[in-house]
Structure formats: C-alpha cells, structure tokens
Amino acid sequence: MQKTKYDDGFHSYLVNGAAIVGEPGIPLLMDLKNTQIPRDIVPFEKAKSQTDKRKYVHFYMHDKAFSDVLTSTTKYLDLLKQFDGVITPDCSLLIGQSKCLQQTNTYFNRAVGYYFQKNGIPVIPNIRWSDESSFEYCFLGVPKRSIVSVSTHGCIRSNEQKRMFKAGLKEMIKVLEPTDVLVHGHMPECVFAEFKNDVKFHRYKSQFERTHEKEGA
C-alpha cells in the first residue's frame, strides 16, 4: 500500500525539537542566516539530472510531482545536500479550499523545511497565500528579516489574481519584513512596482519560460 502523509500522524518526526507557533500549530523554521541569494534555481523534478549543483532546488510545480518528498522526506536528503540549498515545498493554498487543508499545507511547507534544516540543508521559506482569510496563518513559522521566496507562475493571469497576489505580497512584507524576496516567474509592474523601495527582489525565470526560450532559439 502506498504511504500517505496521514499514516503516522503527519510524520511527527519532521518537527521533533521545533517550536510550534500560532493557533494552527505551525513549526517555526530555525535561523536562516546560513542562506544566500541563489545563483540560480532548479525544479525538484530535474534535480537528479543536474551536473551544476550550485543552485537552490524549488518545488514550483504540481503538488503531485513532489508529494513523495512530504511522505518520504528522509530518502531525499542525500540528493538535496548536494545543492546550495532548498526552497521549501510549494504546497497549494487555493481560494475556496478548506481552511483546514490550507493550514495543513502551510504546516508541511514549514515541517519539511525544518527537517531539512536539522539535517544541514540551507533553507529559504516559500510563502504561499490564497485570499485575505489565509493571512492569519500563511506567514506563521517564518523568521522575520530573512530571505523568502514566492512564485507568480500561474497566479497572476487575471486582474483579480493580480489584485490578490499584490494584497498578499503587501501583507507578507508588512508581517515578515524580508530583506530579500526571490520571485519565480514574471514580475509585472502593476503588482511589484509599489514595493521596490521596500525590499530587494530577485527574479528567476520559470521552467516554462526557460523551455520556451530553448524552443525558440
């Protein structure tokens, strides 16, 4: 039978020793001072084939593509330790999704990140929100004044999506006061211009962009 993340109480070993914060009980990531601005980032699904390991591994892809990392985290340590670091899993928070599920996905984002940290892997927290109702818990477990990461890929197609992403970005900057924000995907001025004097942004092309650049070369 395939193992699931519910089999042993949400894999409690991931958060052994972690401080737990907020009403939902989100694990607090450790100090992030051993992280750096990545030279580049690479999707988890391409990590095994990478020869250049001077990159951070990210999980900006469909949740199914990295579900095994949530259920069998330990077996990926040796692979991920070869890289400069890891951006925590991008577990989906969707508008209309139940609050319980969104909080669970926030939990796993931080729990897996904490476990990587305990095993010597530098970690940059990925921040994900849905709508304003998620703001009460989606920033929990992330130390202030650190490097964080977000993705716009697939999240800013409509005007309403742009509005919601901008609202979340504004709240994230207010609550976490990040020193730097990595951005996976496009950075439209209508979303980001207002904040460029508040924080340093570092844009990385999505895998979709990179693939289409090669096809058009």
Q: pLDDT (tens digit, 9 = 90+) per residue, 128-170?
A: 999 999 999 999 999 999 999 999 998 899 999 999 999 999 9
Q: Alpha-carbon distance 189 to 126, whole Å?
A: 21
Q: Alpha-carbon distance 115 to 112, whole Å?
A: 5
Give the pLDDT confidence score for residue 8 in this predicted structure. 56
Give the pLDDT confidence score for residue 4 in this predicted structure. 58
Reference 117, options 43, 4, 12, 16; nearest CA is 16
**Low-confidence residues in the chain, pLDDT < 70:** 1-10, 214-217
Reference 138, options 118, 167, 180, 179; nearest CA is 167
Q: Do 133 and 116 form a contact (C-beta atoms < 8 A)?
A: no
Give the pLDDT confidence score for residue 1 in this predicted structure. 47
Tokens of 81: 């330790």
Question: What is the pTM for the complete model shown?
Answer: 0.93
- Give strand pairing partners of 124: 87
Give the pLDDT confidence score for residue 211 in this predicted structure. 83
Give the pLDDT confidence score for residue 216 in this predicted structure. 54
Q: Alpha-carbon distance 41 to 34, whole Å?
A: 17
CATH classification of 20-216, choosing from 3.30.450, 3.10.20, 3.40.30, 3.20.20?
Answer: 3.20.20
Q: Do 162 and 188 form a contact (C-beta atoms < 8 A)?
A: yes
Angstrom CA distances, 145 to 26, 169, 180, 181, 193, stand at 19, 15, 8, 11, 20
Angstrom CA distances, 55 to 102, 164, 199, stand at 29, 30, 22
